[in-house]
Amino acid sequence: MKFTNIKDELRYAEKRFKLKQDIERMVIEKGYISYEPGMIEDYDKYVAINTRSNRKAIVKVMNANGQISILRPDITSNLLSNLLPKWEKNLKIKIFYYEKIFKHSGSGIKEIRQMGIECLGIETIDADKEVIWLANDILSQYRKKYILEIGSSEYLKGLLQEFYLEEDEYHEVLTLLDRKNKQDLIRFAKGFKKNEAYEALVNLIDLKGGAEEVIEKAKKSYMNERMSKGLNELNEMVKFMKESGLSDNITCDLSMVSSLGYYSGVMLRGYFRESNREIIKGGRYDTYTEQFGEIIPAIGFSVEMDELLKSLYERGEI
């Protein structure tokens, strides 16, 4: 939020500090350690690993030798490129950060505050449970009415691999799923093989709503090994949340598509009713860690601090 007078501006800054401290306290209690990633990275290295990143939006600076460096466009890749070269076997770490990322926007540079957590090296199901629990804690701390939505990129990729699609077809299907346009999807899939997987694909958009219900429905439709692995991970999470009495606000959307291509398992998003952006987003990214020289189990999420603060401040809730 922007203010024209200093009094409001300082008041807002004070609230931001309080919010940051509150969430920090919550994650420290759960055993997360603070980590400060570097601000500057090498441009060539970054785009070689993050091939799908929007190069125009990256903020470039030139170093003394005339090489191009960048101000970090995201935290996760920065963190992995720092930590993974030093990785030791059987390490289990839980870290959190509160940092800014930088992006070109219009003619200016935008600074975006992010707070996030990452679990590295911890067994899949354990870390999944740990992370959804924490995400739920943060959301429920500030609102009775919120939605914590889960999806699975493994389930989705497992289903799509049945069709042996060309790259552009693959992306078109993802686009249609993301728009939730079932009619266009059916029209586009006309030429696809009409097997059991086909039925599952054209009905995928309907698999959304209460998490338990959706998972039960999905179990009854077509399934291969990869899909089953993805669904099972979701099921374990939902079961765990139910046993802890925390499942009321959890929904599932099996056609959830992430704009980041690198997720490889559970994806999660948190919403508030009156906010027009996700408050929480994240997921599992084991295969992404391979780009940094080591495949380890990895999952994390970030909290959009500016959005969260704005939505609390506007209602005088902080």
The DSSP bridge pattern shows strands 146-152 and 250-253 to be parallel
Nearer to other proteins, 233 or 278 (CB): 278
- Segment contacting other proteins (CB under 8 A): 39-47, 161-169, 173-181, 283-291? 173-181
- Segment contacting other proteins (CB under 8 A): 96-104, 144-152, 236-244, 288-296? 144-152
CA dist 269 and 282 (Å) reads 7
- Segment contacting other proteins (CB under 8 A): 75-83, 92-100, 175-183, 223-231? 175-183
User: Is residue 271 close enough to count as binding other proteins by CB under 8 A?
Assistant: yes
User: Is residue 209 close enough to count as binding other proteins by CB under 8 A?
Assistant: yes
Q: Which of 8, 36, 44, 184 binds other proteins (CB under 8 A)?
A: 184
Residues 272-301 that bind other proteins (CB under 8 A): 273, 275-278
User: Is residue 228 close enough to count as binding other proteins by CB under 8 A?
Assistant: no
Q: Least separation, in Å, of the C-beta of 307 and other proteins?
A: 11
Residues 41-60 that bind other proteins (CB under 8 A): none
Nearer to other proteins, 80 or 267 (CB): 267
- Residues making contact with other proteins (CB under 8 A): 145, 147, 149, 179-181, 183-184, 208-209, 251, 271, 273, 275-278
